[in-house]
Structure 1
Amino acid sequence: AHLDSNEPLGSRVRNMMTSGKTDSWAKLPKVADSTLQNLASDYITINRISSNSQALSISVFLPPNYEPKPITDLKRISNNIIELDLSGIPIGEQEMDLVAQCKNLEWLELDKTPITDTEFNKLAGLTKLSMLKAYETGITDQSISILKDLKGLKSLYVWETQISDAGFYKLKESLPQLQLNHGIDQKLKASFIEKDSLLF
C-alpha cells in the first residue's frame, strides 16, 4: 500500500512498525468493544494497538484501595494482550497468574513492584516477550534461568534488583541479541557523585 504523504508521520511509523506484526495479530481472537468497556475503569486503560486490531495494550494505575480482581478479570482477554504495564502496582501471585496466561505478550512492565523470584517464575513460557522492565523488584540470580529461556527477549531493564554481575554475564551468554540495561555500577555511581560535588 502506498503511504499517503498527508498521513501524520507518527501513524506512518507505527504502521511500518506494526505491518510485520499484523499477520500474527490477525490470528488473535475477536474482542468486542463492549467487553473492553466492561473491563476498563478509571484505573485500567485498554486500547487497541491499531484501529480495528484485536491486539490490545493495557495500562494499570494504582487506585486508592487496591485489589487484584480488576487485573485478574482481564483473563477473559488474556490472549489479546500484547502490551501490559503494571509498573508500581503492588502485584503478587494472583496478578502474575494472569500475566502467565497472556501467551501473546510482547511488552511487559513489572518495574517498581514487590515481585520476587517466586512470582517471576510465572513468566516461563512467554516466548513472544521482547521487552521486559523488571527494575526495582526483588528478583535475584534465581530468575536468570527464566530469563535465559525467553528467547525472543530483546530489551531488559533490571537495575536495582538482586541479580549479580555473574548472573548478568550468564544471561548475555545465553541471549547475545539482548540489550541489557542494568544501570550503573554502584562504585562508579559513588565516584561520579564525588566528582560532581568537587565541582561545586
Structure 2
Amino acid sequence: MWVPLEPARAHLVVLKSRFIASLYPVHSESEVRTVLAKIRTEFPGASHHPYAYVLGGAFHQEHSSDDGEPGGKAGRPILQALKSREVEDAVLIVTRYFGGVKLGTAGLARAYREAALQVLETAILGQKMHVTILSIGIPYSWYDYVEKQLPHFNAHLLAREFTTDVHLNLAIPHDNLTSFLGFIETSTRGQARVTILEENVERIVPIK
C-alpha cells in the first residue's frame, strides 16, 4: 500500500467549472475533520467539497461524501481513485467552483475522478512494507560498490556516517534480507560488520 508523505494539490477546469483536488496524510477520523475544516476555510466560496478517505491498519476504514452533489457522482469516484492507486492513510477533497455550465451526472463523475487521479499522480508517496533495519560497517574500499548495488535489493539508505569505516543504516524489505546479507558477505570478503537493529517491522519507505 501507498501513503502520502506530504500534502499535494492539483487543478482541473471542465466547462468553466474549477476543480481543486487536495490530498493530505491522515491517521484518524479526527484528522480528517480537521483537514475538511481547513479546506472549507481556504475556499469559502466553493460550491461543494466532496471527499473520500481511507484509513489503513487493523481497523480499516473508508468513507466518501458527495457534499450536496448528485448521489454517488462525486465522493464515490474520489474513493475509487484512492483505491485504484492503493493509497491509504489519506483524505482526498475535490473542491468545486461551479462555472455556470452543467456537466451532467456522467460528466460530473468523470471530472471528480480525473481531478482525484491528477493529484495522486503529482503526490509524493511512500510505500508501506515490512523491513529489517540494519547497521553495516564497511571498509572505505568497498563503500562505493556496495552503495551502488543497494537498488538491486530495494534497500533504502536511512543514514550514513564516515568514521574509521563507513557506517550505513539501511531498511531492507524482509523478503530480500537473506540475499542481501549474502551479497554483503561475498562482496566485502567478510569484512563488513552487520548489526540487526529491528526485525520485520512495518515502515513507510519513501519512493524516489
Tell me the TM-score normalised to structure 2 length: 0.25
More RCO (CA 8 Å, sep 6+): 2
Q: Greater share of strand residues, 1 or 2?
A: 2
Which of the pair has more CA radius of gyration? 2
Tell me the TM-score normalised to structure 1 length: 0.26
